[in-house]
Amino acid sequence: MWAEVAIQTRDVGAAEVLLDRLASFADQVVCNGVDIFGSLDHYRGALWGVLGRFDEAQRLLLRGSAVHEALGAPFFEARSQVELARVLIARADPGDVDEAVRRAGLAVATARKHGFGTVERRAAELAETDRRP
């Protein structure tokens, strides 16, 4: 999915285009008939994070995470926690870094339990974020 590429490369131009194109598909789960790719709110939230719109990013990532939890989809839930941690670290409001480290720790535990190596590595990097002011 192109949104994932824009998220991982932090491509602002692509994030803007994709958010515009994905706006009419809010509240859906991405599926091509064979594979499922998780809640679209996850992708939209992470794309808003790329653009520095952290409050909108947090709102959508929390919604995406709730969908993933309701679906019993730990892979997607862990990924949403990773992106939410990334957004909180970038926003850096009071308490954000501690919450980011907590969420990254949850993602590490989930990823380790289920063998999601790449998710575990990304989460572990965020979980080690320095919490000093």
Per-residue model confidence (pLDDT) at position 9: 94
pLDDT in tens, 5-38: 999 999 999 999 999 999 888 788 888 888 888 9
Residues of the chain with pLDDT under 50: none
Residue span of the structural domain in which 8 resides: 2-124
131 found inside a domain: no
Per-residue model confidence (pLDDT) at position 132: 52
Give the count of domains, the chain. Answer: 1
Cβ neighbours around 90 below 10 Å, total: 14
Per-residue model confidence (pLDDT) at position 109: 97
81 found inside a domain: yes
Taking Cα atoms as reference points, which of 31, 37, 35 lies closest to residue 7? 37
80 found inside a domain: yes
Per-residue model confidence (pLDDT) at position 94: 95
3-state secondary structure of 44: helix
Per-residue model confidence (pLDDT) at position 34: 85
CATH number at residue 105: 1.25.40
Per-residue model confidence (pLDDT) at position 84: 97
Q: Are 6 and 15 contacting, i.e. CB atoms less than 8 angstroms apart?
A: yes
Query: What secondary structure letter does DSSP report for 31?
Result: E
